[in-house]
Amino acid sequence: MPLFDDLAVSAVVFAIALAGMFVNRKNLVVLLMCIELMLLAVNTSFVAWSAWWGGLSGQVAVFFVLTVAAAEAAIGLALLVVVFRNKRSVDVDTIDTLKG
Amino acid sequence: MLSRDIWAAGSEILIGAGSILVLLFEVLARRARPVWAYRTALVSVAVTVFLLAAGSLGRSGVFWHGGLVNDPLSRLLDIAAGVATFLVLVYSRPQLVRHGLERAEHYFLVLTTLLGVLVVDSGGSLLTLYLGLELLALSLYALIAIDRRRPLGAEAAMKYFVLGAMASALLLYAFTFLYGLAGSFRLSVVARALAAHPGSPLTLAAVAFVVVALAFKFGAVPLHFWVPDVYEGAPTAVTLLVGTVPEIASIALFMRLLGLGLGAASGDWGVLLMVASLLSLLVGNLLAVVQLNVRRLLGYSAVGHVGFILLAFQLGGRGGETAAVYYTIVYVFMSAAAFGGLTLLEARGEKSTTLEDLSGLARRDPWMAFFLLCALFSLAGVPPFLGFWAKLIVLRRVIMAHETGLAIFAVVMAVVAAYYYLRVVKSMYFDPPPAPGGDGAAAAAPVPVFSRVWLGINALGLLVLGILPEGLWSACRMAMSHLLR
Amino acid sequence: MSLDDLVLGVLLLPLAAALIAGLGRNLVGRTGAHVLTILAVALAFLASALILRRVLADPRPHVFTFYTWMMSGGARFAVGAWIDRLSALMMVVVTFVSLAVHVYTIGYMHDDPGYARFFSYLSLFTFAMLLLVVANNLLELFAGWEGVGLVSYLLIGFWFERPSASRAAVKAFLLNRVGDLAFLLGMAVLFAAVHTLSFRAIFAAAPVLGRTPILGGSGGMTVATAAALLLFVGASAKSAQIPLHAWLPDSMEGPTPISALIHAATMVTAGIYLVARLSPLYVQSATALSVVLLIGALTAFFMGLLGIVATDIKRVIAYSTISQLGYMCAGLGAGAFAAGIFHLVTHAFFKALLFLGAGSVILAMHHEQDMRKMGGLRRFMPVTYITFLVGSFALVAFPGFSGFFSKDAIIDAVGRSPVAGASLAHLLLLGGVFVTALYTFRMVFLVFHGEPRMDEHTRAHLHESPLVVTLPLVALAIPALAAGWVMFRPLLGGSFFAGVFGRLPHGHPLGFVSRNPHLTPLAFVAGAFSEPSFWLMIAGIATAWYGYLYRPAFPARAAAAFHGLYRLFVQKYYVDVFYEVICARAGWLVGRGLSTGGDRLLIDGGLVNGSARLVGAMARRLRPVQNGRLYRYAFVMIAALVAVLGYALLT
């Protein structure tokens, strides 16, 4: 059952990424990596379904997702730089001024 | 075929062209003053709204295999988003100029935000919806951090970015399930597939992921954490944008994805939305009460308003959805007037951060205080104002669905909301002005008449439309009775 | 221009002028304020005249809808217009009097710091009154009704720094509130029965309503009676009928142009207009008509009596207004709707004239209003004197003057009316003729004849008022003199109001004249000399002459001889005392009881402060959840996702 296996891989990767979002309490860069990982899982899932349906649209979607992911990564890194300039740190713990 | 149908995307094309033009100013004519970028943005938005209202942008229908839908709803939401963007541009410029933040890229990002909203409004396929949403979200992340010297902005943008990207990923993951179920991205095909497999685990998983992602985009509890932080952290001119235009995209997303795409599973998402709605009403309004920062207060109050919108939406039927769309549009214009007032106050050289900053405003600038009063009364749902009708229509729908308990809860929370809105009014009208500080008092400068007049139209419009409520309401009903997918 | 454009113009011009003059008064200034408002009202008057000409050509009612205000449960609430000869005639009267008052105000308020504000209120009032008149449903009429009430409140209290003015304003507001409550209940009764408030539907349903018992019971009161009586309570508050009349004399605290416009010519006639407008409903209820008739007749007689003892010139005219409104009410109650409206029109002219004349006198007397300190003014103010005399003759219904035609038509119609109580009402109205003549000429003699009694300083500065004051006087004197001759045949001869009013089962709604369609005004005048009302009027004038010119000591002796009666009149039948001591005190006691017992302990202590504390406590608990940490936020999101997934997959 290749479809099931593919989907299972995708789900596991996605779950790892999700866990990384809150287990990691240190580095903002890891958060960005987790986001990329989630999109990777999504792409795996798209390709698996596309193969199962025998159509191409799922695989085309992957290209869109990749493009958006690139833009997202660019903005994420840019924000990281801005945060670092302001706080002199990329610790998750240091950005808690806004609260309450 | 393409050459004729290209005008189905007329509004998107016009705004896209406008944004590219604005960007060209930045790239090619660095020395040109940014006011030209502002004017270009203003004109392209105005022209788009005018052509949309005149009905001359493409015929109704579904185009490009569901990639784009032109129906009365998309037109109504496009117009609302366009008008809101116009107001945002008009209100924000004086503040940007005063604080030395006016750059062409700001206007470019405002236009791409609008473009994202327009794409979502008329999205007929999962892919279009996702792309529109990302365009919108990425523009907002950049805008929130656009003032690089402002640590709060960077922090808010970072938080919003991480959580927003996560929500987008959740949404996308749900899309893979829906694609797996239907074999197509087209909403009509998805809807058919869902109706054919009621209650399959794949459907339920998709519903769960979609509800969480959409609740995040709208800022419903417990996915609201970004809202107050962004409202407080972003530069005022950007908070003005965040609090208005994207709400249109959120309701469009709800309508297209949940209402039209996943309508068959409304039993499953209805309960989830009801819980989110109740939590939003409770948490949003309660936490707004203890805020001293006006923008943070309005952020929590936005969460409370989302509670009202979801309360109507979770009823499932077309009636509830119409009420939700109406409420959202009304909310956007109330919010525009409130944040517009705060933004223009900053343009005057005053601070508008805390309640104390606003005290005695009625004596310093009676007109501005009056406009803010209109906006706040409307937000609180005081009778002659438009906000009252929005609440009334939602409550009537809820009562008609025999959910009286929910209606009573919503009314109680509306009373709590009235308390904190009126507290702002009290501070403006009855508290003595703050002691003249070293820098604040002397720097008061006049606000351009153009912006003030538009704020006046916006604020008094809330009153006039409240006295004559039928027009907007019947426009919403009309739009919702001819939906396409 | 099409008819609906004209109507919109008539409505919106005064509104726009009021808004500009009021909100932008720093922008337009004093001159701008009066030029703008007068222009708007003049245009509205012209448009009203055009509308009247149109409906003269085409008598069917023209019904428009301008805007659907809201839909609620299948019921449609709209803003529209119902233009027939009744509303068109009212529009002309309202805009004409309003125009005269606007012009007059330039002179009268010349030195007042609230000049622009005053003009803004005047125009706003004109708008509200016109809205009331053109309404095509009860809700819209109520909007205008409340509008005139509000502006009246603002204008009575215009000189709000005077405590008596703000007290009078509050009094007017409260008594009108009683009427408004009844009005709302009346609307509710009609809405419950007809499911809409549009006149068309109410008129169509009226015969059925006249047979339907209220509350679904059998026998007892019909829906028509209940609605008509409740609405009449509203009307009697606005039109100052017993027992809700007490606010009108006090409203004289406002500036005189206001007394002329609102408290004589227009607003107080709103109640009369309401009953006439709803005449198809009223004719379905014999009970309601009797009540209207008797209340009107009682008011006409007993309120006139109070005019005899009042010493303030404006108060005398105020009591005469109440009394004349009583005549109109009696006419309506007798089923003679046309005669009632006829009197409304003529009264608008001569009463506005009298008020403006009184204002001219007050201006010359340096704001002295006590008639005991006047006298002999006719030598100093000839124009004011002559026009005032014209108004007085019209008021006492001297044959040939406008008031004569309408008042005698009412008296005659009441004498012949089939409505129960008509004979008693007839007697009261005849007595009222004597009383009217007595107090009117008492006023004329005290003010204009005899020896001057004012102090030297005032006397040295006596002079005729400026042209902007005398011009409206002359303009109003012409219709006060001539309107009867022109309007007698069409209004009472039957053709003008054909189809406008409801008809009584027995008897003709238009009064007696239509029984003799060939009666000319001249023959009517000639016939009057053999009627008792003429001789009663002459007797009244003679008494006034005897008491106030020939034997000035007589009134004091009479007052001493009938001491009890005199005190009763001076104390205004103790109605104010009743309201103040009984109603207000009882209300105050109940209120204090509720305030300490219910409000402060239960509501404030328990509910308000208690719930506020609860809200605060809950919010403080919730607040730390938002601790600013990203991983907390992400964790809650993912927890929500897991919970939602679990819920979705497990159920």
Note whether A53 contacts B148, CB cutoff 8 Å: no
Chain A touched by B185 (CB under 8 Å): yes
Chain B touched by C610 (CB under 8 Å): no
Give the A:C interface size as CB pairs under 8 Å.
Answer: 35
What's chain A's length in residues?
100
* B446-466: average pLDDT: 88
Question: Could you give the 3-state DSSP secondary structure of residue C651?
Answer: coil
Residues B332, B337, B343, B345, Cα dihedral to 10°:
-160
Question: Could you give the 3-state DSSP secondary structure of residue C66?
Answer: strand
Whether the Cβ atoms of residue B239 and residue B147 lie closer than 8 Å to each other: no
Q: Which amino acid is at A39?
A: L
Q: How many CB atoms lie within 10 A of CB B233?
A: 29
Lowest mean pLDDT among B12-26, B27-41, C553-567: C553-567
CA distance A35 to chain B (A): 6
Note whether A24 contacts C626, CB cutoff 8 Å: no
More confident residue, C323 or C575: C323
Test mutation, A23, A34, A42, A43, chain B, max B CBs within 10 A: A42
* pLDDT level of residue A17 (50, 70, 90 thresholds): very high
Instruction: Measure the CA–CA gap between C80 and C508, rounded to whole angstroms.
Output: 31
Helices B449-467 & B72-98, crossing angle to 10 degrees?
140
Q: Which residue ranges form the domains of chain A, and what is each CATH number?
A: 3-91 (1.10.287.3510)
Q: Got the DSSP string for C80-101?
A: EEEESHHHHHHHHHHHHHHHHH
Distances from the Cα of B456 to the Cα of B42, B86, B183, B450, B460, angstroms: 18, 14, 51, 10, 6
* pLDDT level of residue C218 (50, 70, 90 thresholds): low
CA distance A6 to chain C (A): 21
Whether the Cβ atoms of residue B155 and residue A97 lie closer than 8 Å to each other: yes
* Prior bond of C505 cis (ω within 30°): no
b/e sequence C207-231, b meaning 16+ C-beta within 10 Å: eebbeeebeeeeeebbbbbbbbbbb
CB-nearest partner of A28 from B156, B158, B180: B158
Kindly state the DSSP code that residue C63 receives in the 8-state scheme: E
Query: What is the model's pLDDT at position C155?
Result: 82
**Is the confidence at residue C507, as pLDDT, over 60?**
no
Element housing C77 (H / E) = strand C75-83
Query: What is the model's pLDDT at position B296?
Result: 92
Max mean pLDDT among A43-47, B345-349, B479-483, C177-181 falls in: A43-47
CB-nearest partner of B166 from A38, A49, A65: A38
Query: What is the model's pLDDT at position C538?
Result: 87
Closest chain C residue to A92 measured between Cα atoms? C630
Give the N- to C-terminal CA distance of chain A in Å, as an integer. 50
Token reading at B25: 């100013």
Note whether B127 contacts A61, CB cutoff 8 Å: yes
Query: What is the model's pLDDT at position B305?
Result: 95
CB-nearest partner of B138 from A32, A55, A71: A71
Max mean pLDDT among B28-32, C6-10, C293-297 falls in: C293-297
Query: What is the model's pLDDT at position B340?
Result: 94
Is the CA virtual torsion C268, C272, C275, C278 positive or negative? negative
Burial class (CB in 10 A: 0-12, 13-18, 19+), B47: middle
Query: What is the model's pLDDT at position C505?
Result: 62
Q: How many CA atoms lie within 13 A of B391 on its CB side?
A: 28
The residues, ordered by sequence, that sit 6+ positions from C124 with a Cβ below 8 Å of its Cβ are C14, C15, C18, C22, C147, C151
**Is the confidence at residue B440, as pLDDT, over 60?**
no
Tokens 């309450």 found at: A100
* C136-140: average pLDDT: 87
**Is the confidence at residue C278, as pLDDT, over 80?**
yes
Chain B residues closer than 8 Å to A68 by CB = 130-131, 134
* C128-156: average pLDDT: 87
Q: Is the pTM of this model over 0.80?
A: no
- Report percent pLDDT > 70 for chain C: 94
Query: What is the model's pLDDT at position C54?
Result: 86
* B12-19: average pLDDT: 92
Strands C62-72 and C75-83: antiparallel
* pLDDT level of residue C465 (50, 70, 90 thresholds): confident
* Prior bond of B151 cis (ω within 30°): no
Helices A57-87 & B151-182, crossing angle to 10 degrees?
170
More confident residue, B62 or C583: B62
**Is the confidence at residue B35, as pLDDT, over 90?**
no
Closest chain B residue to C68 measured between Cα atoms? B470
Query: What is the model's pLDDT at position B279?
Result: 92
CB-nearest partner of C637 from B207, B223, B290: B223
| Number of domains into which chain B is organized | 1
Question: Could you give the 3-state DSSP secondary structure of residue A24?
Answer: coil
The values of phi and psi at residue C504, to 5°, are -70, 150
Nearest to C292 by CA among C326, C247, C265: C326
Distances from the Cα of C216 to the Cα of C75, C120, C187, C219, C562, angstroms: 22, 48, 17, 9, 53
Query: What is the model's pLDDT at position B304?
Result: 94
Chain C residues closer than 8 Å to B208 by CB = 641, 644-645, 647-649
Lowest mean pLDDT among B235-244, C48-57, C273-282, C370-379: C370-379
**Is the confidence at residue B441, as pLDDT, over 80?**
no
Whether the Cβ atoms of residue C630 and residue A92 lie closer than 8 Å to each other: yes
Note whether B183 contacts A64, CB cutoff 8 Å: no
Write out B282-346 in H/E/C secondary structure: HHHHHHHHCCCEHHHHHHHHHHHHHHHHHHHHCCCCHHHHHHHHHHHHHHHHHHHHHHHHHHHHH
Mean pLDDT of chain C: 82
What is the domain extent for residue B338? 2-481
Integer Rg of chain B from CA: 21
ipTM value > 0.90: yes
pLDDT one-digit tens code per residue, B314-358: 887 888 899 999 999 999 999 999 999 999 988 888 888 888 888
Note whether A76 contacts B161, CB cutoff 8 Å: yes
Query: What is the model's pLDDT at position B16?
Result: 93
The residues, ordered by sequence, that sit 6+ positions from B35 with a Cβ below 8 Å of its Cβ are B102
Kindly state the DSSP code that residue C251 receives in the 8-state scheme: G
Tokens 């001759």 found at: C485
More confident residue, B197 or C591: B197
